[in-house]
Amino acid sequence: MSAFADLLRVEPSRGIDLRSIDPDRTPGFDGDREAARAELAALHAELFDFQARLWAERKRALLIVLQALDGGGKDGVIRNVFTAFNPQGTRVTGFGVPTEEELGHDFLWRIHQHAPGKGRIGIFNRSHYEDVLVVRVAGLAPESVWSGRYELINDFEGNLTAAGTTILKFMLHISRDEQRKRFQKRLEDPEKRWKFRLADLEARAHWDDYMDAYTDALTRCSTEQAPWFVVPADHKWYRDLAVARIVTDAAQRLDPQYPAPKEDLSGVVIPE
């Protein structure tokens, strides 16, 4: 793992206090917005090439998990970073309120069926972690239920990695003041007002509870096989670059290869 990734990774078996991480910082990058955008464009080319080889090799998969408080920028990362991937081999799944059918199963049932198959990339916009975040804060299940889910999540992710899936999990960390500014912009922009919900304000009122819930999830579920990265996200350009750098680093380590042709093509000539 690169030195940059290590700056943002939550060390396994080591506690983390989310409140101690400044969302306005840009660790590991001293440039400005334009320099970040230029580097991001270069990383797009690397990610495009990586996906082509991953798709051709068909031996491994990549799962990217995005979590954030409302306004944290999950959609922005998908739009600005992962457009580098060909949609044919990529699936973005957004997990909202569980349906009646989903509630009739264990909490991981709806997640597992969206895990990427070999050669594919899966991107989760929210994820199974909602069941130890909003479920906990909103009191949708008793502590006796959600407290046992951390271990179940670790086992689930361990099974995916054992089957050849690389998992990268990103918590896009914004400040309370930055969230306020972004909410205000949504209210004032007729083209974005539809994204604002009164429920966003209710969740904002439980800011400290969410900080506690995220701290526990990051601490208990950052493992060697499925690490968490806390990305300071008050600066959108840094947020995008940080995610792209870490995904590119993982892509370089995976280094999928184009397979050899299944048939002998040495004497083949395409007829006119």
Cα 45 off chain centre by? 20
The predicted pLDDT at position 14 comes to 83
For 5-31, what is the mean pLDDT?
93
The predicted pLDDT at position 180 comes to 96
Q: What is the CA radius of gyration of the chain?
A: 20
For residues 46 and 56, give the distance between their C-alpha atoms in angstroms, rounded to a whole number: 16
Which of 103-112, 200-209, 256-265 tops mean pLDDT? Answer: 103-112
Work out the angle between the directed axes of helices 33-57 and 236-254 (0-180°, nearest 10). Answer: 30
Tens-digit pLDDT profile for residues 37-65? 999 999 999 999 999 999 999 999 999 99
Provide the H-helix boundaries in 13-108.
Answer: 33-57, 74-80, 100-103
Tens-digit pLDDT profile for residues 142-177? 999 999 999 999 999 999 999 999 999 999 999 999
Average pLDDT, the chain: 95
Tens-digit pLDDT profile for residues 178-205? 999 999 999 998 888 888 888 888 889 9
pLDDT at 30 over 90: yes
Using pLDDT thresholds of 50, 70 and 90, give the confidence band for residue 1: confident
Using pLDDT thresholds of 50, 70 and 90, give the confidence band for residue 263: confident
pLDDT at 219 over 90: yes
Nearest to 248 by CA among 48, 47, 56, 54: 47
**DSSP class per residue in 113-176:** TTS--TT-EEEEES-GGGGGTHHHHTTSS-HHHHTTHHHHHHHHHHHHHHTTEEEEEEEEE--H
The predicted pLDDT at position 192 comes to 86
- The pair of three-digit structure tokens given for residue 204, joined into one six-digit string: 């904002």
Q: Which domains does the chain have, with CATH numbers?
A: 3-254 (3.40.50.300)
Residue 232's H or E segment, with its range, is strand 228-232
